[in-house]
Amino acid sequence: HGCYFIPGQNFGFFRLPDELSTGSSIMPHKKNPDVFELIRARCNRLQALAYEITLMQNNLPAGYHRDMQIIKEHFFPAFEELNRCLEMAAFMLENIQINEHILKDEKYRYLFSVEEVNRLVSQGMPFREAYRLVGQQIAEGRFSTDIPRLHHTHEGSLGNLGNDRIQARMQEIIAGFQFEQVEKALTGLLEN
C-alpha cells in the first residue's frame, strides 16, 4: 500500500516517471501508480492459491489420486506469476525518483519529535518528563528540527537495519538445505 500512497501530493516522498504511471481520470495533477496497483492485484490473486489447493485435496481418501495432477495447473503458473511480479517490482523500484529534500517541507517539521523524546530518555530522563518537555517546545515554537543530529540506532532503523544478521541467518538456512536431494527428486519426477 505504501507505493500507492507515498508518491501522492499528501506525502511526496518519491515520484514515478510519467512513462511508468498514468493520469487520473478526474484529477489532472494526480499520477496513478498503475504498475504497483497491478502487482498488488496479482499478489492478492496468488494468495488464493493455498485455498484452491486445499479445495482440490478436499474429500480425498488416503493415498495418491489423479486429483493431485490438477494442482500442477495452478501451482506452476503461480510461480511464473510471482516471478513476473518480482521483476515488475524491481523495475519500478529502480526507476522511482526520490525527493531527497522532502524533510525541508514545513509539514514534516515535527516528524522527529518522537526521536527527540527517545534521545532524552536514552540520556536518563523519565519518559513522561521527556514527552512533556518536547511537547512544550513544540507548543512554544522552540522545537529544533535539526536533522543531522539524529542517530538511528534501534533495530530496524536506518542506522541499524540488521542486514548483517539477516544475511547470516539466510546463509545458515541455505547451508542447512539439501539442494542435491531436492534436485535429484525433481529430476526423478520430471523423468516420470
pLDDT at 21: 83
pLDDT at 84: 96
pLDDT at 87: 96
CATH code at position 30: 1.20.200.10
Q: What is the pLDDT of residues 158-183, one digit of tens each?
A: 777 888 999 999 999 888 888 888 88
Domain annotation covers residue 76: yes
pTM, entire model: 0.60
Domain annotation covers residue 82: yes
Domain annotation covers residue 136: yes
Domain annotation covers residue 157: no
Beta-sheet strands, E only, within the chain? 14-15, 22-23, 31-32, 97-98
pLDDT at 90: 95
Do 14 and 80 sit in the same domain of this protein?
yes
Domain annotation covers residue 155: no
Helix axes 113-122, 127-139, angle to 10 degrees: 140
Please give the residue range of the domain that contains residue 22: 2-100
Q: In total, how many domains does the chain have?
A: 2
Q: What is the pLDDT of residues 92-113, one digit of tens each?
A: 999 988 888 887 888 888 888 8
Do 93 and 127 sit in the same domain of this protein?
no
Do 118 and 54 sit in the same domain of this protein?
no
For residues 118 and 106, what is the distance between their CA atoms, to the nearest angstrom?
22
